[in-house]
Amino acid sequence: MLDAAVTTRWDLYRVLAEPVRLRLLALAAEEELAIGELADLLRESQPNISRHLAPLKQAGLVLQRRQGTRAFVRMAEAAAADPVVADALASGRALCEADGSLGRIAEVVKERDRAAREFFAQPREGAAETDRADAATDATAAYVAALARLLPERALAVDAGTGDGALLDVLSPAFEHVVAVDRADAQLAKARARVACRGFTNVKILKAEVGAPELKEHVGRGADVVFASRLLHHAPRPLDLLKQLVALVRAGGALVVLDYARHDDESMRDEADLWLGFEPQELRRLAKDAGLTDAEVFRIPTAWCGRGKDSHLPWQVMVARKTEKKR
């Protein structure tokens, strides 16, 4: 239903009697977009976009959520059920198809990914030396190997976006086989160095996108557990990434996502962060939309968040299951 503020049909017609608003409605129905992205797509100023969004928000036609200093807009799902809005949406799509803005949405989303690719392609100093120094004295792998025998299924784990391979210190002792995947050569070089230093013989390191066919070939019938550690906040479309991760999980298996809770530290954008964390309900909604069930979200104590640049941020974990296939 539309917002109660729109008390007459005349009010609704008035709100929709503006081509810019029709185009905004169509774009927001296609993809959740930042105000700056909408301005680029429509070649309008951000203040003008905000001015036109105001009556759409007041009418309950679009929803807005903040990510630090940025605001993202999407069409309210229930709005399209109104026949007047549905007709306006069709008109807006026609206008966006004519001016090319609808077709440029994919370019806008791809641009979100560019900073992350460039950031992780840069070599960084220090990690390999620390790994070698710690390897001789750290007995964590032995403890993990002992606890892992309590896991009912531990044939295969996937470390999606392995980065420097830090999670492999846990996964390799716990699972019979591990596939670690990343797309950045600089990160993979550090992961390979870690594997060699630790003597892990059950880890396959692969350069590929998460949704690449070659990764699915290595996973076969699916992994018992797929881990995505601090990966989701880099994804241009978090739901798309979750669906790709779910495709790697066997029926009855689990997806484990470690990422940030919502925060306001804009400096993390310098670390190629597209999203400033997620609310627990956002993660649960994404999990449901990706086909997962029984999603549980819990916070990680600050003392467990390491000593990196993101150690001050609130960390959380989501664990969800892929439904068993019906026979």
Q: Which domains does the chain have, with CATH numbers?
A: 9-103 (1.10.10.10), 120-322 (3.40.50.150)
**Closest by CA position to 46, among listed 13, 79, 69, 15:** 69
Phi/psi class of residue 272: alpha, beta or left (left: φ > 0; alpha: ψ in -120 to 50)? Answer: left
d(CA 5, CA 12): 10
**Higher model confidence: residue 129 or residue 26?**
26
d(CA 249, CA 255): 7
| 246 token code pair | 């779910």
Confidence of residue 325 (pLDDT cuts 50, 70, 90): low
**H/E element holding 63?**
strand 62-67
Give pLDDT tens digits for 127-158: 555 455 455 456 888 999 999 999 899 999 99
pLDDT on residue 10: 83
Confidence of residue 87 (pLDDT cuts 50, 70, 90): very high
**Closest by CA position to 195, among listed 162, 152, 240:** 162
- 315 to 62, 161, 227: CA distances (angstroms): 30, 17, 15
d(CA 177, CA 272): 30
d(CA 141, CA 179): 18
| 282 token code pair | 């956002």
pLDDT on residue 146: 94
d(CA 253, CA 247): 11
pLDDT on residue 134: 54
pLDDT on residue 121: 85
Is the distance from CB of 263 to CB of 286 less than 8 angstroms? no
The 10 Å Cβ neighbour count of residue 90 is 12
Please give the model's pTM, rounded to 2 decimal places: 0.83
pLDDT on residue 324: 74
**Higher model confidence: residue 137 or residue 272?**
272
Read off the pLDDT of each residue in 67-88 and give the average, rounded to a whole number: 93
Read off the pLDDT of each residue in 50-56 and give the average, rounded to a whole number: 96
pLDDT on residue 136: 46
Give pLDDT tens digits for 153-200: 999 999 999 999 999 999 999 999 999 999 999 999 999 999 999 999
